[in-house]
């Protein structure tokens, strides 16, 4: 029996048991007791300026470090402010535990001050959630939350703790790992792939002439880079990744096709379109990847490796599903291939296939029109890539800049590109970048943001200043909600309804007022200098306000719901010259 202590002390005790040394959050009435216990513990707390920021910071931390991220908030508005981050973590399968305060048990259901049914609200956007009804069940529920969050397909878990539960005292023990597993009879993540299915996959791989590997976030979480490279090299299979899968296979590798889908490279999409075998590893056939399902990989047999059985046959019929951990399955697959001393059955065809892909790469590379007058946003990314030698962790917001960051930087390591891929949360970049830097202090972190995205969570610069988090932020400032504007240009006859910011803050003054360092670049030749200058500052956040071409578009593009055949690779002709004049004020 443990010694008697408050529920709040138990919360801290469990966090320490789980190896948590850093949490994010904002205190408030219902969670005060926990903050009181935190006060005398070794756990570092990052005080965000908004709970959404705390949530995204925890996401960035989890995504960069691979550990479970933890965020605290109080009840009511504190908790609802976390909801966007919870939904974001759910869509991108990030391991997080959100601990929210709740009004005392006796007041639940009474419309008490700052009361909201957090378990009800977050039910569809969590892997699981708990309302802890007594201090006796608190340690088990908390440990279950961590176990559920990080195992199987990772995801967010919310633990809602009423204030009186944190105040009551108890001698209840912290349950052991085994007790935690045994207390969840309905939860048994499946890691080992079925060997019969793996053998079927081997047959398909050997017999294919034009294979493509399609790799998603599951391969990153499973840490399967070594196995992927081995498989690709062994059988000369080109590899394309989703945004979540970036870095699971190095994009600097000759077999890399980079990203596929709506804003994928021409060669990745063409390769998938013409492939006779698609090997999906930890990817879920999202609509932004497939476009029109009827014409997605029309000639291909499909192998689908995924840890979540519910991902199989959700949007698309596949030939060989294999449920389990990507790394374990790839290992078995490789062992099977080696055991049978497998060689490519059609070497001539394979050679032709790789030549075809080279041809596409050479003739339709990622490109943009250069300008001496105005900064092209893609150029900024290219310069950051060169100057950081491809080693930085890139955390974008959501919009055009996110796609440029995905296209024009080449990612070599897993967890190097951290973005809101599923939910598409504008404002994700800055707080997630702060979290990523705290999760991996050894990495240079660049937040690539848009002016629209940045303004959604920009108060977190103060948090970065307070904790001396030396992130670099590049705002690709075009004065527009750029991605929406692009769709308006292409599909709504340039009727720019509410996408142009009439008034913008002076970002340099704003950042300086918050205690950060800021630069501005308005001409292409200033770009390398300011990036160098930003890299020299290592005790606070640096923001660079790049005034970029206002009406630059993200291409290639597969319009929503269309086939890869309908890919737009260039700007439509006859478009009026972009207005590069810029107003601040």
Query: Annotated catalytic sites, by residue?
Result: 51, 113-114, 163, 483
Work out whether 441 is an interface residue with other proteins (CB under 8 A).
Answer: no
Which is nearer to other proteins, 133 or 200 (by Cβ)?
133
Output the smallest distance, CB 268 to other proteins, in A.
14
Output the smallest distance, CB 146 to other proteins, in A.
13
Q: Do residues 427 and 456 touch, judged by C-beta distance below 8 A?
A: yes
Q: Do residues 37 and 10 touch, judged by C-beta distance below 8 A?
A: no
User: Which of 239, 278, 235, 233 is closest to 256 using CA atoms?
Assistant: 239
Output the smallest distance, CB 257 to other proteins, in A.
14
Backbone dihedral angles phi then psi of residue 160, each to the nearest 5 degrees? -100, 120
Size of the site for other proteins (CB under 8 A): 49
Output the smallest distance, CB 481 to other proteins, in A.
21
Work out whether 354 is an interface residue with other proteins (CB under 8 A).
Answer: no
Among 112, 181, 342, 568, binds other proteins (CB under 8 A): 568
Output the smallest distance, CB 398 to other proteins, in A.
23
Q: Do residues 129 and 160 touch, judged by C-beta distance below 8 A?
A: yes
The span of 57-65, 290-298, 381-389, 424-432 binding other proteins (CB under 8 A) equals: 290-298
Work out whether 317 is an interface residue with other proteins (CB under 8 A).
Answer: yes
Output the smallest distance, CB 66 to other proteins, in A.
22
Work out whether 295 is an interface residue with other proteins (CB under 8 A).
Answer: yes
Work out whether 184 is an interface residue with other proteins (CB under 8 A).
Answer: yes
- CA dist., res. 365 & res. 378, Å (int): 13
Kindly write out the interface string for residues 457-496 of this chain, putting x where it contacts other proteins by CB under 8 A and - elsewhere: ---------------------------------x------
Task: Indicate if the alpha-carbon torsion angle 72, 75, 78, 80 is positive or negative.
Answer: positive
Which is nearer to other proteins, 108 or 206 (by Cβ)?
108
Point out which residues pair with 44 in neighbouring strands: 22
Q: Do residues 224 and 415 touch, judged by C-beta distance below 8 A?
A: no
With a CB cutoff of 8 Å and minimum separation 6, the contacts of 545 are: 475, 477, 507, 508, 518, 519, 520, 521
Work out whether 171 is an interface residue with other proteins (CB under 8 A).
Answer: no
Burial class (CB in 10 A: 0-12, 13-18, 19+), 5: middle
Work out whether 507 is an interface residue with other proteins (CB under 8 A).
Answer: no
Which is nearer to other proteins, 242 or 563 (by Cβ)?
563
- CA dist., res. 137 & res. 213, Å (int): 45
Among 310, 345, 500, 560, binds other proteins (CB under 8 A): 310
- Cβ count near 450 (within 10 Å): 28
Which is nearer to other proteins, 119 or 578 (by Cβ)?
119
Output the smallest distance, CB 227 to other proteins, in A.
26
3-state secondary structure string across 185-200:
CCCCCCCCCCHHHHHH
Axis-axis angle for helices 377-387, 527-535 (nearest 10): 40
Work out whether 274 is an interface residue with other proteins (CB under 8 A).
Answer: yes
Work out whether 186 is an interface residue with other proteins (CB under 8 A).
Answer: yes
Which is nearer to other proteins, 186 or 585 (by Cβ)?
186
Among 65, 112, 342, 364, binds other proteins (CB under 8 A): 364
- CA dist., res. 54 & res. 83, Å (int): 11
Output the smallest distance, CB 487 to other proteins, in A.
13
Q: Do residues 276 and 208 touch, judged by C-beta distance below 8 A?
A: yes
- Which of positions 110-149 make contact with other proteins (CB under 8 A)? 119-120, 123-124, 127-128, 131, 133, 148
The span of 15-23, 53-61, 98-106, 568-576 binding other proteins (CB under 8 A) equals: 568-576
Residue 472 CA to its chain's centroid (Å)? 18
Output the smallest distance, CB 480 to other proteins, in A.
20
Number of H helices, E strands in the chain: 23, 19
Output the smallest distance, CB 427 to other proteins, in A.
25
Which is nearer to other proteins, 315 or 529 (by Cβ)?
315
- The DSSP element (H or E) to which 266 belongs, if any, is helix 266-274
Q: Do residues 360 and 270 touch, judged by C-beta distance below 8 A?
A: yes
Work out whether 502 is an interface residue with other proteins (CB under 8 A).
Answer: no
Work out whether 316 is an interface residue with other proteins (CB under 8 A).
Answer: yes
- The DSSP element (H or E) to which 130 belongs, if any, is strand 128-131
The span of 39-47, 309-317, 498-506, 523-531 binding other proteins (CB under 8 A) equals: 309-317
Q: State the distance between the two ends of the chain, measured CA to CA, in whole angstroms.
A: 64
Residue 498 CA to its chain's centroid (Å)? 28
Among 136, 287, 308, 506, binds other proteins (CB under 8 A): 308
Work out whether 176 is an interface residue with other proteins (CB under 8 A).
Answer: no
Work out whether 349 is an interface residue with other proteins (CB under 8 A).
Answer: no
Residue 319 CA to its chain's centroid (Å)? 28
- CA dist., res. 270 & res. 275, Å (int): 8
- CA dist., res. 221 & res. 414, Å (int): 9
- CA dist., res. 417 & res. 271, Å (int): 23
Radius of gyration of the chain from its Cα atoms, rounded to whole angstroms: 25
Among 573, 577, 581, 585, binds other proteins (CB under 8 A): 573
Which is nearer to other proteins, 490 or 578 (by Cβ)?
490
Residues forming the site for other proteins (CB under 8 A):
119-120, 123-124, 127-128, 131, 133, 148, 184-187, 266, 270, 273-274, 293-299, 308-310, 312-317, 356, 359-360, 364, 490, 563-573
């Amino acid at each position: 029996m443990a010694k008697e202590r408050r529920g709040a002390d138990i919360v801290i005790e469990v966090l320490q048991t789980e190896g948590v040394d850093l949490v994010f959050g904002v205190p408030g009435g219902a969670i005060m007791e926990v903050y009181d216990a935190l006060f005398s513990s070794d756990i570092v707390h990052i005080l965000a300026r908004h709970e959404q920021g705390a949530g995204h910071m925890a996401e960035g931390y989890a995504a960069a470090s691979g550990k479970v991220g933890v965020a605290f908030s109080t009840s009511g508005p504190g908790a609802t402010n976390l909801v966007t981050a919870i939904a974001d973590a759910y869509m991108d399968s990030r391991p997080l535990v959100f601990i929210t305060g709740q009004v005392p048990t006796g007041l639940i259901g009474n419309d008490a001050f700052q009361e909201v049914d957090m378990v009800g609200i977050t039910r569809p956007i969590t892997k699981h959630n708990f309302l802890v009804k007594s201090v006796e069940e608190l340690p088990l529920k908390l440990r279950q939350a961590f176990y559920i969050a990080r195992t199987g397909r990772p995801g967010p878990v919310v633990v809602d703790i009423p204030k009186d539960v944190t105040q009551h005292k108890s001698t209840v023990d912290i349950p052991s790992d085994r007790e935690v597993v045994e207390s969840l009879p309905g939860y048994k993540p499946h890691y080992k792939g079925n060997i019969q299915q793996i053998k079927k996959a081997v047959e398909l791989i050997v017999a294919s002439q034009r294979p493509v590997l399609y790799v998603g976030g599951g391969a990153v979480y499973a840490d399967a880079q070594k196995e992927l490279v081995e498989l690709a090299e062994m059988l000369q299979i080109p590899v394309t990744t989703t945004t979540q899968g970036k870095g699971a296979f190095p994009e600097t590798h000759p077999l890399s096709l980079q990203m596929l889908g709506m804003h994928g490279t021409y060669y990745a999409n063409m390769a998938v379109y013409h492939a006779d075998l698609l090997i999906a590893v930890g990817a879920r056939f999202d609509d932004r990847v497939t476009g029109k399902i009827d014409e997605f990989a029309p000639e291909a047999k499909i192998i689908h490796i995924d840890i979540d059985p519910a991902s199989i046959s959700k949007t698309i019929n596949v030939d060989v599903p294999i449920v389990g951990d990507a790394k374990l399955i790839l290992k078995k697959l490789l062992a099977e291939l080696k055991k049978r001393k497998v060689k490519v059955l059609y070497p001539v065809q394979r050679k032709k296939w790789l030549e075809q892909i080279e041809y596409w790469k050479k003739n339709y590379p990622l490109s943009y029109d250069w300008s001496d007058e105005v900064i092209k946003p893609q150029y900024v990314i290219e310069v950051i890539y060169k100057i950081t030698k491809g080693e930085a962790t890139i955390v974008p917001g959501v919009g055009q800049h996110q796609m440029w960051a995905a296209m024009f930087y080449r990612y070599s390591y897993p967890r190097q590109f951290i973005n809101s891929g599923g939910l598409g949360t504008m404002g994700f970049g800055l707080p997630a970048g702060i979290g990523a830097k705290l999760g991996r202090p050894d990495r240079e972190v660049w937040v690539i943001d848009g002016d629209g995205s940045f303004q959604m969570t920009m108060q977190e610069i103060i948090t970065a200043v307070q904790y001396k988090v030396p992130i670099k932020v590049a705002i690709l400032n075009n004065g527009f909600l750029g991605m929406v504007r692009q769709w308006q240009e292409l599909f709504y006859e340039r009727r720019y309804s509410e996408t142009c910011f009439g008034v913008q803050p002076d970002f340099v003054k704003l950042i300086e007022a918050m205690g950060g360092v800021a630069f501005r670049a308005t001409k292409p030749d200033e770009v390398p200098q300011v990036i160098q200058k930003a890299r020299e500052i290592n005790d606070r956040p640096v923001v660079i306000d790049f005034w970029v071409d206002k009406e630059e578009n993200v291409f290639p593009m597969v319009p929503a719901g269309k086939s890869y055949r309908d890919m737009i690779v260039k700007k439509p002709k006859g478009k009026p010259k972009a207005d590069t004049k810029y107003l601040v004020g």
